Structure 1
């Protein structure tokens, strides 16, 4: 993974670090995917003829899929939104064949983040809280400061290892 996704020296290595993307000059096609109009960053106005997809559009999923599978060499993807949105789109882009150096991710909105329950394997949306209960297995989870780029989620582990399924059995 490239340096732009690595953590700052005072943070754990696995935590994502976001920065404002810069327009790429050697790009033949700029693809901008934003969660909402409010997620748009000012640099988009500097791009030459960008293709802009808004997550609030009725046909967003269909159009996104078409654009990602049709992306050619020289395309560059800029993703803007909250953490849950940008990492979901990042995963879709990687599955469609885009490489990490062809993708810029920018967290432009406060909002949901994804948490992966290591006990049942469910990935669920959550707020910034350090503790939550898994909506699938009812285990109390502590959200660790470890981010899996493959999953696009923080890892949630049992808050009480002496009774890992206490919530599920009560």
Structure 2
């Protein structure tokens, strides 16, 4: 990559920090990395305001953080074993949210951006969604040719799971799709596919 080059649409992630003026906190995390982010968040303090915590925990490594955080904070955590269960739980929560609620999301991008999209559908401003990327750097890639989202992409060239085209994964990110753009790599020179490199471990 050329020095000084950057893409303005590419997400920049931070570290979760409580927003002290919030009237309500909703925390959504996934995986072991999300569990660590959750633990660090409660190590900052246990807020006086109401807190709702949702954890997509589908393995033993993730589950250990549930008991640690519950004991530390005194808060009950809603544990979900699938993205579908998490979405259903969030729909119920969002129906009862009110002005001043702040949202915190930590996990891999395949968790962060579907959650962010759901929140915006409920009218939540993106400025009120604080995001921390943890775990794998694998990307979600949107195939511009067949409009398919490809999950867990680790290489700069990826074969679309739907149309089979070899896609070059660009740094351009679409918040509408919650994914990076993938364009046919051999559009001008059919059949000439450069070697793929693992750049998102």
Common fold, TM-score beyond 0.5?
A: yes
Residue in structure 2 matching 1:108, options 134, 145, 150? 134
**Superposition TM-score, scaled by structure 1 size:** 0.84
Aligned-partner SS, 1:126: strand
**Superposition TM-score, scaled by structure 2 size:** 0.72
Matched with 2:28 is: 33
Going from structure 1 to structure 2, the CA distance change for 1:128 and 1:160 (only over 3 Å counts) comes to same
Q: Which runs of 5 or more residues in structure 2 are unaligned?
A: 58-79, 194-201
Matched with 2:175 is: 149
Please give the alpha-carbon distance, in whole angstroms, between the structure 1 residues aligned to 2:144 and 2:191: 12
How many residues in Structure 1 have an aligned counterpart in Structure 2?
A: 159
CA contact (8 A) 1:139 1:166 kept: no
Please give the alpha-carbon distance, in whole angstroms, between the structure 1 residues aligned to 2:98 and 2:129: 13
CA contact (8 A) 2:159 2:166 kept: yes
**Alpha-carbon displacement from aligned partner over 1:70-126 (angstroms, at most 9, x marks no partner):** 221110110010011101100011011111121101102215321000001111103
Higher gyration radius (CA): 2
Q: Which runs of 5 or more residues in structure 1 are unaligned?
A: 1-8
